Amino acid sequence: MEVEMKKEPIKTYWNRFKTKVIDLKNDTKNFHKIIISFTAVAVIIVSFSIVNTVTKAYSVSIGENVVGVVKEKQEALIIYDEIKKELEDTYDAKIELEDEIIFKETNIFGDKYTDKEDLKKNVEREIDFKVDGFALVIDGETIGVFKNSSEIEKILEDVKKPYTEIKDRESTLKEVKFLENIDIQKVKVNVADIANAEEVLQKIKDGKEAKKTHIVEVGESLWTISLMYDTDVEKLIAANPDVVPEDLKPGDEVNLIVPQPLLTVVTVEEVEYTKELDYEVTVKEDDSMYNTQKKIITKGTKGEAEVTANEIRHNGILVETKVVNETVITEPRTEVVAKGTKEPPKTMATGTFMMPTRGRLSSPYGNRGSRMHLGIDIANSVGTSIYAADGGKVVYTGYQGSYGYMIEIDHENGYTTRYAHLSKILVSSGTRVYKGQVIGKMGSTGNSTGSHLHFEVLKNGVNKNPASYIY
């Protein structure tokens, strides 16, 4: 069961309060104590209220870290911009701060804001930043990053320079470019990653090692080859462990390990020169001549032409010549040659010599003691067959002093052969012999110490080493 409570009017409460105050005044002793206590409490309450007044503020964070509290956002944004400008002035580049300022509303008691200097230090400690840069990319590989693109342009010009200053040849530079794909890309980069232009230029020049093969030509050695390819002899020896430097001869292959720059400068140079034009040769058959014979009826003469061409060079080395224009100054004259069709007789010289007998080489051509040995000696038993080294006409047979019994054959092509110390002669002077025909027998006549053949070859009357002519 609910009981309804009657509300007393405010006037009733006020009258009761005044009655209590009058009673306290009459109690002088207790009245003063109460007044003092009320005063102290009032002072504390007022002071606490003043100090702990709740104020709206903003906490400032960089990433996940709180760096301070400000009254207005603008205070922190100004400091943030100041730091960015100082960094741009320091590094002479546009700065990109990686972390943005994050504001969060909060309440503080009193005036507990972060000091501006402290806030700046806190922000500087927390921020991460990158600068605007330009990357030099060669065939997809970044070679270096720079503050501005002009540094890259200068590097590329420095790479081209040695190949655009033409001093040792007469030509006109028409085009300069790079063989590789080059790209300049705008990037964000840490300050520590900004490259040094001179170091990158040297890196491009040094490049990487590449293997090549060089075919040795007459007069070349590892030393001359090293000069040609701007390398060291020691490196060539290391790259060719199977090559004996002293035994190097024309036609040998030498492995090269040479620096290959990261960039290849392609130049196109226009050149003008005069060149010879080869003549054609027309052959006419002549049945009055042997098929081993030829005769020039009309001498051919070379022509002449003025040529304009583009020389394409890679890092100064000529790789291709493209003729742009060719103007004939003098036409070449065709050479007419008569060639025989008749089958030559067996007794006609073939132009090569066979071994004139069987046996061992007992004495070579050259100095022998105090005198010159004008042929070669081939030793075997008496009676061993002697053969005509080539076809020709017998011009001498008989006994010839220290030569003993000797045969001399004129091969009617500038060559003559002699066969000495024979025991028997089977041909007579004036007859014709064919290559491989038995013309005599081995012996030891004349100035001889044992059975052997002394064989000589003369060219236009001058003795030659027979070993160089026998096949």
Distance of alpha carbon 422 from alpha carbon 431, whole angstroms: 18
Domain span including residue 239: 208-260
Residue 160 has what pLDDT? 93
Chain segment 158-200, per-residue pLDDT in tens: 999 988 887 767 889 999 999 999 999 999 888 778 899 999 9
Number of structural domains, the chain?
6
Beta strand pairing status for 385-387 and 294-298?
Answer: unpaired
> Is 376 domain-assigned?
yes
> Is 165 domain-assigned?
yes
Chain segment 381-400, per-residue pLDDT in tens: 999 999 999 999 999 999 99
Distance of alpha carbon 405 from alpha carbon 401, whole angstroms: 8
Gyration radius from the chain CA atoms = 56
Residue 15 has what pLDDT? 67
Chain segment 293-344, per-residue pLDDT in tens: 899 999 999 999 999 999 999 988 888 999 999 999 999 999 999 999 998 8
Chain segment 117-164, per-residue pLDDT in tens: 999 888 888 877 788 889 999 999 999 999 889 999 999 999 999 888
Residues 459 and 377 in one domain: yes
Distance of alpha carbon 84 from alpha carbon 367, whole angstroms: 95
Residues 106 and 20 in one domain: no
Residue 278 has what pLDDT? 95
Position with higher pLDDT, 98 vs 161: 161
| Segment among 235-239, 352-356, 413-417 with least mean pLDDT | 235-239
Position with higher pLDDT, 20 vs 264: 264
Whole-model pTM: value is 0.50
> Is 354 domain-assigned?
no
> Is 174 domain-assigned?
yes
DSSP 3-state assignment of 247? helix
Residues 156 and 245 in one domain: no
> Is 180 domain-assigned?
yes
Residues 37 and 68 in one domain: no
Distance of alpha carbon 250 from alpha carbon 239, whole angstroms: 18
DSSP 3-state assignment of 156? helix
Distance of alpha carbon 121 from alpha carbon 82, whole angstroms: 12
Residues 368 and 463 in one domain: yes
Residue 13 has what pLDDT? 54
Residue 3, phi-psi category: left (phi > 0), alpha (psi -120 to 50), beta (remainder): beta
Residues 374 and 319 in one domain: no
Structure tokens at 83: 């730091």
Q: Does residue 29 carry a pLDDT above 60? A: no
> Which residue among 160, 184, 206 closes a domain?
206
Residues 201 and 212 in one domain: no
Centre a 10 Å sphere on the Cβ of residue 137 and count the other Cβ atoms it contains. 19
Mean pLDDT within 55-82:
90
> Is 282 domain-assigned?
yes
Q: Does residue 5 carry a pLDDT above 50? A: no
Residues 395 and 442 in one domain: yes
Residues 364 and 429 in one domain: yes
Residues 405 and 435 in one domain: yes
Mean pLDDT for all residues in the chain: 87
> Which residue among 206, 222, 246 closes a domain?
206
> Is 4 domain-assigned?
no
Residue 35 has what pLDDT? 58
> Is 352 domain-assigned?
no
- CATH number for the domain spanning 327: value is 2.20.230.10
- Taking every pair of Cα atoms in the chain, the longest distance, rounded to a whole number of angstroms, is 187
Distance of alpha carbon 250 from alpha carbon 216, whole angstroms: 5
Q: How confident is the model at residue 4 (pLDDT cuts 50, 70, 90)?
A: very low
Structure tokens at 398: 């008989």
Q: Say if CB 212 and CB 317 are below 8 A apart.
A: no
Distance of alpha carbon 263 from alpha carbon 156, whole angstroms: 9
Distance of alpha carbon 327 from alpha carbon 304, whole angstroms: 9
Residues 334 and 380 in one domain: no
Residues 251 and 275 in one domain: no
| Segment among 15-29, 51-65, 75-89, 299-313 with least mean pLDDT | 15-29
- CATH number for the domain spanning 382: value is 2.70.70.10
- CATH number for the domain spanning 249: value is 3.10.350.10
Q: Does residue 50 carry a pLDDT above 60? A: no
* Of 407, 397, 383, nearest in space to 455 by CA: 407
Chain segment 373-383, per-residue pLDDT in tens: 999 999 999 99
Residue 6 has what pLDDT? 47
* Of 292, 210, 330, 213, nearest in space to 258 by CA: 210
Distance of alpha carbon 96 from alpha carbon 446, whole angstroms: 109
Position with higher pLDDT, 87 vs 60: 60
pLDDT more than 70, % of the chain: 88
Residue 25 has what pLDDT? 56
